[in-house]
Amino acid sequence: MIHFVNRRALSTVVTTALLLTAVAVMGTGVVAWSNYNLRSFETNLVTSASNNTNKINEAPIIENVVLVPNFPSNGVNSVNVTVTNVGTVGFNVKTITISDSTQSATKTVSGGNVNPHSSSMFSYVYQWINGKITTVQVMTSRGTVVSTQAMQP
Amino acid sequence: MIRRRGLSSVVGAVFAVIALASTVGYITYSMNVLDNYNQSVLARNQQGADIVKEKFQISGVTLVGNKLNVTVVNTGSLPVNFTKIWITNKSATTTAWVKSYTPVNKVAAPGNTLTNIGQGVNTWLNTNYPYHVKLVTSRGNTQEFDVTSAANSKLDIRLYALPPTVVTSFSTELVMFVINNSTNGATLTNITPQLIDQGGSANVDSISGPTPSSYPTLLPGQSAYFKWDLALSGNNGDSRLYVAQLANGISGNTASATVSIVTVPISLQSGTSVQSLGLSGSTLPSNILLLHKENNTTPANTRQMWAASAETTGTVTYTGWASGGSPQVFTWITNNDTTDNIVPAGPWVLSLRYVSDKIPIGFPTADLIYHFETLSGTSLDSSGNSENLSPTGSPIVQNTGVNGSKAIPLNGNTQYLSHTGIDAHSNVVNNLASTAGWFKTSGSIATQRSIFHIGNTAANPFYDISLTSAGKVAFSFSGKSNGGSATTCTSLGITRYDDQNWHHFVAVKTGLNGCSLYVDNQIAAVGAGTCIGTCNLPPPGAFYVGNDPTNANSNFPGNVDDVIHWNSVQLTSYQVQVLTQKANYGPTAHTINVAIERVDSTNTNVLQTINSGLQTAIFPFYDPVTGGSPYNIGASSNYTTGNLGSVTFSGLNHGDRLRLKLNWSNGMNMSIREDDNTLSNPITSFLQVPDPSTVFPGYLSMSVGSNPTLYVQNQGPNSAWFSSLTRIVYKPVNGIGTSYAAFINTVNNTYAVTPSRDGPLFKVGQTEVLSFYPPSDPACGRVAGDQCNGGLTPMPAGVYRMSAFLSGVDDSGAIFLRTVYAGPIKVQ
């Protein structure tokens, strides 16, 4: 009788241990899975917030546009674009698109980094036309776009 | 069993805690990130708002030493930091270039004026070439203007002859308008007109002008106004063509006007225009609507506005605007009538004859006021106390004053201004006194430099405001016989005020031993003296601006402006603020909203807004003492609207009226002169409209039973006699009721005109006064046998339309008959 009771107790212990092990494994898995997901969300949130914050804080302006004739005395016109950073974070000028009603050209900028409160001038060959409005559009690597227009009378 | 249950609870709790901690951590982190994001958005919004709030105005551009010298007024509420100047050489004859510079003198505080921008630039400009300049601020705002050239694009230039037809030997006026309609919003500089006589058959007897000779700057949308007076002679049909252009302007950007000679057998007295009318007084060209002071027959007590010369010695419309008070609105209106009148498209001009308040409204009477606007022998005292300042060292007036005004720069060595004699306006013997002014050094200083000093003898009483060798502002005075035990206030801190920027000071004597000192609207020092006994003796001899004769090498280097002294008044801190931030004695001293509307006959409904008046019109400061009389030749300025569309005043709309409303906006108060027949060049305030198709209805009036009087002039070529058929007729303005007529009575109040006797020979060039019997139905002229005692209905009170019928025969045997409509008249 006593022996019988002992066997029953052993089986209860084993069962309990198995159950606990199973719960621990499943619990650990669920926790690990949820933590992984949370980390992913967190990483996405950080990246998104950082990008958007920087995009909001960056403030490029086109300070001046000079339509240069015959640059440099070879019969080809050019455009000098001065971009100024009036914001609090630096930005990188990625492309400058120059266009008028008859043509359009997108220039990829290398070395377009502009620090806060400083300016950079970018010069590109472009056959602008007297009397036509020339539109200059500057796009940063974060996607901020500013544009202005100039015309040589 | 109990233990196993506890173990599972612990395991579950552990997982629950882990899950909860992770979730809470994630949420907290997310909220922090979002908060940072929000802060960035708010900061960006603030930055955008600052960009909008940043405002500045270019008040002057000159070339000093062939370098750019730009004066900028910060009209916004934020400091403006200029980070870049772009200069473009736009010459077509030289190699064009573009250069950019970082200015040295570059920060303007709100309300302050920043001068000498560009003087530190290492580029010399040629005055023969046009330049385009762009100023860039740290927030990215820009303003552009052209220098030495009337732009490279065509401007809106107009030339009008007022009137375009004249009687021989009569004068006319050529008026040139230049409107800065540059599409790039550029400010133009040095606008100088040129008038070219293209010749013609008419002879030029005299010509003078232009007045003014030039405009130093012309802001976008603003207009410049020049005029020439000329007299022509010749025969009927002779003419002369004039072309106006701008010096250094673009080729072909001109305007022309032709003045023609007309000869009429007879015309009503009209001054210089044969098309004008006259009844009991002279009239003006139909496009000049004078601001009259009378308000009879006008709705809502508005004042009359019509093309008739001033009839009184004038009155003043005082704007009376106090800071924070309700805007003052002043209204003038034309009469209504059922006739149509079409005003063509074009600019409208408001010409105001006015003087400016010498100091802001509400201030106690000042004893000494020096704005340094002129230096004709002396620099005038605007207070009216005639304590003018005499110059030493030959300083000259320049456009270097605060807020774009004029000032007298001093060289810091030999130049200063002084007044000999101390009296009740300058003796500072009272317990209280105040002295205010602006100063700007031309460089840093190493010794004490005096701004304002009373007293000319050392070891005597004195009153002094100086910059110390440390660049601080110091106010000191002593009423002791030996000049001892002085009370002194010296600005605290280490700030040096010899920084070539404008600074405002107010030195206040608060008692025999007390002083306070304000610099740039901030209390800078409070001091107490130790004088015992007699402490209120007057300083001897003279007082000075820019020098202390008791202190060697104390000449002030730079500009001192708007020095105002109260000999027995302690200014309040609010008054100090007004003097520092509100007072403006420069070209933008007054701003007014000018609304021009077509309203119905009752002046209750606006039928058409001609000029909304949303944009303020700017008028410059005119010192009442300049020129020696309160309303001198210079005390006049114009506001020209843009090119407004045509306006039809239709009788079908029950007699439209033209209404002018001046809505006081900002700045110093001004006294606008109206209806003053003592003013002639220019005349008292008026509104000039593009030439209307007919004269606007006027405000003639006469008393019931009175004798109408008509002024006529014979312009030749023949002499003539008036006959008794000459009449004045009256028709009820509403078309209902009886009409009346008046029989001619006398010529020149002496010669009776009867059916049996004409008037005397009316020679060419003569003016006659035609007097009529009182109007009645029918008209009656008293002659022997008919004294008009019965069968007549005298004309009662009412509003009528009046016409004159002139009849006679000239000495060539030709009859002349002429009917002239004179407009509505009120019989009262």
What would the pLDDT profile of B252-281 be if each residue is shown by its tens digit?
889 999 988 875 433 333 222 223 233 433
Quick check: A31 and B18 CB within 8 A? yes
**Contact (CB, 8 A) for B106 and B83:** yes
pLDDT band at B148 (very low <50, low <70, confident <90, very high): low
Rounded to the nearest angstrom, the minimum Cα separation between A118 and chain B is: 10
Q: Return the minimum-mean-pLDDT range out of B518-532, B680-694, B770-784.
A: B680-694
CB contact under 8 A, B140 and A63: yes
Confidence of residue A22 (pLDDT cuts 50, 70, 90): confident
| pLDDT the model gives residue B116 | 86
Yes or no, beta carbons of A35 and B40 under 8 Å apart: no
- Res. A5: pLDDT tops 70: no
Co-location of B414 and B489 in the same domain: yes
Chain A residue closest in CA terms to B142? A63
pLDDT tens string B318-336 = 776 655 555 678 889 998 8
Using an 8 Å CB-CB cutoff, list residues of chain A that contact chain B: 16, 19-20, 23-24, 27, 30-31, 34-35, 38, 41-42, 45-46, 49, 52-53, 56-57, 59, 61, 63-64, 66, 69, 80, 82, 84, 86-88, 117, 119, 153
Q: Give φ, ψ of B578 to 5 degrees.
A: -60, -45
Rounded (5°) CA angle A15-A16-A19: 85
A20: which chain B residues are within 8 Å (Cβ-Cβ)? Answer: 7-8, 11
Together in a domain, B392 and B521:
yes
Contact A153 B100 (CB under 8 A): no
Digit-coded pLDDT (tens) for A45-64: 888 888 888 888 889 999 99
Domain assignment of residue B42, yes or no? yes
Q: What is the pLDDT of residue B475?
A: 96
B659 vs B289: CA distance, rounded Å = 11
- Could you tell me if B406 and B514 lie in one domain? yes
pLDDT bin (cut points 50, 70, 90) of residue B532 is confident
**Average pLDDT value over all residues in chain B:** 83
Neighbours of B306 (CB within 10 A): 25
Instruction: Show residues of chain A in contact with B253, CB under 8 Å.
Output: none
Q: Which residue in A has a C-alpha nearest to residue B135's C-alpha?
A: A63
- Asked if B232 contacts B259 with a C-beta cutoff of 8 angstroms, the reply is yes
Across A76-80, B280-284, B480-484, B820-824, the highest mean pLDDT is recorded for B480-484
Say if residues B318 and B675 touch (Cβ distance below 8 Å): no
What secondary structure does DSSP assign to chain A, as a single string? -HHHHHHHHHHHHHHHHHHHHHHHHHHHHHHHHHHHHHHHHHHHHHHHHHHHHHHHH--EEEEEEEEEEEETTTTEEEEEEEEEE-SSS-EEEEEEEEE-SS-EEEEEPSS-EE-TT-EEEEEEE----TTS-EEEEEEETT--EEEEEE---
pLDDT category at B489 given cuts 50, 70, 90 is: very high
B28 touches chain A (CB under 8 A): no
Average pLDDT rounded to a whole number, residues B428-456: 94
Q: What distance in Å separates the CA atoms of residue B826 and residue B295, rounded to the nearest whole number?
A: 12
Residue B277 lies in a domain: no
**Residues of chain A found within 8 Å of residue B43, distances taken between Cβ atoms:** 57, 88
Binary contact (A86, B7; C-beta < 8 A): no
Confidence band for B179, pLDDT divided at 50, 70 and 90:
confident
Instruction: Inform me whether the C-beta atom of residue B196 falls under 8 Å from chain A C-beta atoms.
Output: no
Ranges B80-84, B352-356, B417-421, B797-801, most confident: B417-421
Residue numbers in B near A53 (CB within 8 A):
36-37, 40
Q: How many domains does chain B fold into?
A: 6
Task: Say if the Cβ atoms of B19 and A31 lie within 8 Å.
Answer: yes
How far lies B464's CA from each of A95, B485, B548, in Å? 63, 14, 8
Label residue B459 by pLDDT band (50, 70, 90): very high
pLDDT above 90 for A95: yes
CA pair distance B168, B235, nearest whole angstrom: 7
**Is B45 within 8 Å of chain A by CB?**
no
Please answer yes or no on whether B139 and A86 come within 8 Å at the CB atom.
yes
What is the reported pLDDT for A140? 93
Q: CB neighbours of B821 closer than 8 A, spacing ≥ 6? A: B801, B802, B803
Q: Flag whether B695 is in a domain.
A: no
Q: Quick check: B196 and B249 in contact, CB under 8 A?
A: no
> Same domain for B592 and B578?
no
Picking from B606, B771, B665, B687, the residue whose alpha carbon sits closest to that of residue B306 is: B687
Cβ neighbour number for residue B697 with a 10 Å cutoff: 26
Is there a single domain that holds both residue B132 and residue B101? yes
DSSP 8-state secondary structure symbol assigned to residue B460: S
Q: Is residue B274 part of a domain?
A: no
Residue B520 belongs to a domain with what CATH number? 2.60.120.200
| Residue A42 with chain B: CB contacts under 8 Å | 26, 29-30
Angstrom distance (rounded) from CA B387 to CA B544:
12
Q: What is the pLDDT of residue A136?
A: 94
Residues of A in contact with B22 (CB under 8 A): 31, 34-35, 38
What's the rounded mean pLDDT across residues A18-27? 83
Nearest CA in chain B to A85: B140
- pLDDT at position B327: 60
Question: Which two structure tokens, joined as six digits, stand for B570?
Answer: 């302690």
Which two three-digit tokens encode residue B279? 């009844």
Q: Do B34 and A49 touch (CB under 8 A)?
A: yes
**Residue B284 belongs to a domain:** no
pLDDT range class, residue B695, cuts 50, 70, 90:
confident
Residue at B773 is within a domain: yes
Q: How many CB atoms lie under 10 A from the CB of residue A10? A: 10
Check CB contact under 8 Å for A27 and B15. Answer: yes
Statement to judge: residues B449 and B559 lie in one domain: yes
Q: Which residue has the higher pLDDT, B268 or B90?
A: B90
Same domain, B631 and B486: no
Of A151 and B712, the one with more pLDDT: A151
pLDDT in tens, B43-64: 888 888 888 889 888 877 777 7
- The two beta strands, B433-441 and B700-702, are unpaired
User: In this structure, how many other beta carbons lie within 10 angstroms of the beta carbon of residue B252?
Assistant: 7
How many CB atoms sit inside 10 A of residue A27's CB? 17
User: B499 and B385 in one domain?
Assistant: yes
Same domain, B504 and B571: yes
Name the residue type at position A45.
L
Residue % of chain B over a pLDDT of 70: 90
Average predicted confidence (pLDDT) for chain A: 84
Which of B17, B33, B52 marks a domain boundary? B52
Which residues of A are less than 8 Å from B142 in CB distance?
Answer: 63
For the residues B391-403, what does the mean pLDDT come to?
89
Q: How far apart are CA B217 and CA B189, in angstroms?
A: 4
Please spell the DSSP secondary structure of B18-71, one letter per residue.
HHHHHHHHHHHHHHHHHHHHHHHHHHHHHHHHHHHH--EEEEEEEEETTEEEEE
- Last residue within a domain, chosen from B517, B547, B582: B582
pLDDT digits (tens, 9 = 90+) for B208-260: 888 888 876 777 677 888 989 888 888 777 899 999 988 777 778 899 999 88
Distance (Å, whole) CA B61 – CA B12 = 81
pLDDT at B762: 87
pLDDT exceeds 60 at position A8: no
Contacts of B105 (CB under 8 A, 6+ apart): B114, B115, B116, B117, B119, B120, B500, B501
Mean pLDDT over B12-37 rounds to 82
Q: Do B26 and A42 lie within an 8 Å CB cutoff?
A: yes
Tell me the CA distances in angstroms from B385 to B379, B397, B423, B425, B565, one per residue in order: 13, 22, 11, 8, 12
Check CB contact under 8 Å for B37 and A117: no
Chosen for mutation from B136, B146, B149 (greatest number of chain A CBs closer than 10 Å) is B136
The pLDDT assigned to B267 comes to 35
Chain A residues touching B12 at Cβ < 8 A? 23, 27
User: Which CATH number goes with the domain that contains B680?
Assistant: 2.60.120
> Are both B541 and B621 inside the same structural domain?
no
Contact between chains at B29 and A42 (C-beta distance less than 8 A): yes
Together in a domain, B387 and B465: yes
**Structural domain range at position B378:** 368-582
In a domain, B650, yes or no: yes
Residue showing tokens 């030959």: B394
Contact B41 A117 (CB under 8 A): no
Chain A, chain B: beta-carbon pairs less than 8 Å apart: 80
Q: What is the pLDDT of residue B467?
A: 95
The verdict on pTM exceeding 0.90 is no
Q: Is B810 helix (H, G, I), strand (E, B) or coil?
A: strand
Pick from B14-23, B214-223, B392-401: least confident: B214-223
How many Å lie between the alpha carbon of A112 and the closest alpha carbon of chain B? 19
**Residue contact A153–B153, C-beta within 8 A:** yes
Q: Establish if B270 belongs to a structural domain.
A: no
Per-residue pLDDT at B312: 74
Q: B351 and B315 in one domain?
A: yes
Query: Which residue of chain A comes nearest to B37, CA vs CA?
Result: A53
Nearest residue on chain A to B5, judged by CA atoms?
A16
Per-residue pLDDT averaged across A10-19, rounded?
A: 81
Contact of B95 with chain A, judged by CB distance below 8 Å, is answered with no
Q: How many helices (H) and strands (E) does chain B have?
A: 2, 58
CATH of the domain at B746: 2.60.40
Nearest to B22 among A20, A38, A49 (CB): A38
Task: Tell which wins on pLDDT, B151 or B200.
Answer: B200
Q: What is the pLDDT of residue B483?
A: 92
CB < 8 Å to A38, chain B = 22-23, 26
Q: A110 vs chain B: nearest CA distance in angstroms? A: 23
- Kind of pairing between the strands at B329-333 and B303-306: parallel
* Domain-terminating residue out of B630, B655, B688: B688
